Amino acid sequence: MTESSPTRFWSRRAALAGLAASVAAPATFAQTAGSRPIRIIVGFAPGSANDLIARELARYMAEPLGQPVIVENKPGAGGSLGTEMVAKAAPDGLTVGLGTSSQMVMNVALYRNLPFDVERDLRQIGLVGRTPLVLAGKAAGAKTLKELIAAARAHPGQISYGSGGTGSISHIVGEAFARAADIRLNHVPYKGNGPAMADLAGGHVDMVFDGIITSQPMAQQGRVRLLAFGGRKRSPVIPDVPTFAEQGLRDYDAYSWNCLFAPAKVADADITRLNQALNAALALPAMQERLARGGSDNLGPSTPAQADAFGRKERERWVPFVRSMKIETG
């Protein structure tokens, strides 16, 4: 599951839209259950991988909550417009967000002037899934990860990797791979991972980090070659693709992840109720199958405290790394 790259943003219109979302009067679950719906804000476009997960969660969380759950999309700035919308929403438990590693971690490093603080203005409800990425190469290119690394060392800066854009997950994990392998690669940003994978299939770039759900069909068609899997163990969806660790990069992995989060001042009782509904949804076979089909590891059940600790650990790992890349954004 990859995400679109950040762009310059925070227009006056976007700021006013975020403020408008926060003026609803506070209410409790007791007052709203069975009447006003709960909104899951998705910081990416309809039809994206994150949007599809949110819609499945909405479907399966509605029953234990006893009230409707709907999805509302607020795409832009690598998910940060959606994050802002949740951060500034009324703390009534009726507005939550589906968070991604971009929103919860990478954007903290990428943007100097975010109008919210991830740790001060948000609180976690629980974890959803962790999605390892796959390193896909040209169909007629290197047959193994070791061959690719050897070619990059023999021709520094000449092996290219496409990404979903500057500052995207596929860009950041690509740079992390280059450092782990001690090689120099040529980064080619695209407007989304879809165009990057299309150019990989056309032989215009040498490699792209992508999700299983989109890269596997292309590999089955012979359009790309899957060289390495970013999880700690092989995926049952692509069991013939070895991990990076199996191929010598023992301390490297590549993944994105999701969580459910809320405004910081939402009452503990409401957070507990939402957490219970989230964990109930993740325990359903249909939801487990949906995550597995997309190559995601189910991270439920989790507590809000465990989700908070997970996010802090991810920021400790990735924020200094991303800042060291000196990426210019807004």
**Position 322, amino acid:** V
Co-location of 80 and 105 in the same domain: yes
What pLDDT does 9 receive? 38
298 CB neighbour count, 10 Å cutoff: 16
Co-location of 232 and 278 in the same domain: no
What pLDDT does 221 receive? 98
Co-location of 184 and 276 in the same domain: no
**Mean pLDDT over the full length of the chain:** 90
- Of the pLDDT bands very low, low, confident and very high (cuts 50, 70, 90), residue 330 is low
Co-location of 37 and 127 in the same domain: yes
- Does residue 329 belong to any structural domain of this protein? no
- Does residue 63 belong to any structural domain of this protein? yes
Residue of 80, 92, 77, 72 whose CA lies nearest to 118: 80
Q: How many angstroms separate the CA atoms of 138 and 217, rounded?
A: 14
Co-location of 225 and 285 in the same domain: no
CATH of the domain at 226: 3.40.190.10
Q: How many angstroms separate the CA atoms of 42 and 298, rounded?
A: 19
Whether the per-residue pLDDT at 34 is higher than 70: the answer is no
- Does residue 3 belong to any structural domain of this protein? no
Co-location of 127 and 63 in the same domain: yes
Domain-terminating residue out of 218, 247, 276: 247
Whether the per-residue pLDDT at 32 is higher than 60: the answer is no
- Does residue 117 belong to any structural domain of this protein? yes
pLDDT tens sequence across 50-80: 999 999 999 999 999 999 999 999 998 889 9
Number of domains in the chain: 2
CATH of the domain at 67: 3.40.190.150
**Position 217, amino acid:** P
pLDDT tens sequence across 257-305: 999 999 999 999 999 999 999 999 999 999 999 999 888 999 999 999 9
Co-location of 36 and 108 in the same domain: yes
Residue of 268, 296, 299 whose CA lies nearest to 282: 299
- Does residue 68 belong to any structural domain of this protein? yes
By DSSP bridging, strand 38-42 and strand 95-100 are parallel
Co-location of 111 and 64 in the same domain: yes
CA distances from 198 to 169, 238, 301 (A): 18, 20, 37
| pTM of structure | 0.84
- Does residue 1 belong to any structural domain of this protein? no
Phi/psi of residue 257, nearest 5 degrees: -150, 165
Would you give the distance in Å from CA 120 to the centre of its chain? 21
Higher pLDDT, 54 or 17: 54
pLDDT tens sequence across 128-159: 999 999 999 999 999 999 999 999 999 999 99
- Of the pLDDT bands very low, low, confident and very high (cuts 50, 70, 90), residue 20 is very low
Q: Which two tokens mark 208?
A: 């792209």
Q: Which two tokens mark 154?
A: 């023999």
DSSP, res 208: E
Co-location of 240 and 140 in the same domain: yes
- Does residue 7 belong to any structural domain of this protein? no
By DSSP bridging, strand 186-189 and strand 95-100 are unpaired
> In which domain, by residue range, is 166 found?
134-247
Whether the per-residue pLDDT at 12 is higher than 90: the answer is no
What pLDDT does 265 receive? 98
Domain-terminating residue out of 199, 214, 247: 247
Q: How many angstroms separate the CA atoms of 5 and 95, rounded?
A: 25
